Each structure stands twice: as C-alpha cells, then as structure tokens.
C-alpha cells in the first residue's frame, strides 16, 4: 500500500545545529512531495514542494529538501536551526500526480530547539 513514513518522531537540537528530517514513501510511480510545518497553535504552512526538475528544492525560512528517487526519499534539511523553528514537521505525498490528488501525510516529527 502507498504510505509515507517519518522515522524521527521527536528531535531535540541546540540552536545553530544542523537539521535533517527523514521522509520516505512507498510507491513506484510518479509522486509530488511536500513538507509542511505546524507551529504551536497555528495552522499548517507549506515549507517547500517538489513536482519535477531539480531534485534539490529550496523553501522558506532557509529550509531545503532533496528528492532521491532511488531511495524513495525527500529529506528536509536546514544548516542552522533557530529556537523559532520549534514546531511539528510533516512530510506529505500525492501518489497520483493528476490535478488535485489527495495528500497522504507522514506521522510528523516534533522538533524542539533549545537555546
């Protein structure tokens, strides 16, 4: 079955540390890939997305992600985290790349950045 997995459930980092959050999916076909962030008490915001082209995608707030097709992965990275990056991060995938396909979410990773 098509699924999305995020292996890091809770990550604690000090400010200025580098971040990498894993996201893997199970599907042999074409996918669209997304990372969303949910700050405490706020709604989901899009960090970045990949549809096609350059597999290294740059998003907002200094985040980037790399699509590695052979590994079915779309890991999120940030070279230096800030305390304000404390939030829940969700990877999401559409397995049918037709217009307005439904999003399937991973279980989320809670990032806690300490001062």
Q: Of the candidates 28, 29, 43, 115, which one interacts with other proteins according to CB under 8 A?
A: 43
CB of 45 to other proteins, least distance (A): 8
Q: Near other proteins by CB under 8 A, which window of 15-23, 56-64, 71-79, 106-114?
A: 106-114
Do 89 and 45 form a contact (C-beta atoms < 8 A)?
Answer: no
Cα angle, residue 110 at apex, residues 106 and 115 outer, rounded to 5°: 155
Q: Is residue 77 within the footprint of other proteins (CB under 8 A)?
A: no
Q: Considering the rule CB under 8 A, would residue 39 count as an interface residue with other proteins?
A: no
CA–CA separation, 60 and 70 (whole Å): 26
Using alpha carbons, list the distances in angstroms from residue 16 to 28, 63, 84, 108, 113: 36, 13, 11, 22, 9
28 lines the binding site for other proteins (CB under 8 A): no
- For the chain, the 3-state helix, strand and coil shares in percent, each to the nearest 5, are 10, 50, 45
14 or 107: CB nearest other proteins: 107
Query: Is the Cβ of residue 28 or residue 43 nearer to other proteins in the bound state?
Result: 43
List contacts with other proteins (CB under 8 A).
34, 36, 42-44, 46, 49, 51, 90, 92, 99-100, 102-108
């Amino acid at each position: 079955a098509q699924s999305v997995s995020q292996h890091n459930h809770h990550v604690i980092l000090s400010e200025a540390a580098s971040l990498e959050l894993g996201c893997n999916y199970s599907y042999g076909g074409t996918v669209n890939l997304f990372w969303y962030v949910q700050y405490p008490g706020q709604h989901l915001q899009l960090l970045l997305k990949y549809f096609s082209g350059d597999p290294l995608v740059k998003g907002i707030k200094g985040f980037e992600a790399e699509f590695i097709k052979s590994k079915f992965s779309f890991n999120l990275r940030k070279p230096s985290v800030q305390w304000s990056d404390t939030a829940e991060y969700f990877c999401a995938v559409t397995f049918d790349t037709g217009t307005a396909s439904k999003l399937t979410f991973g279980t989320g990773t809670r990032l806690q950045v300490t001062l």
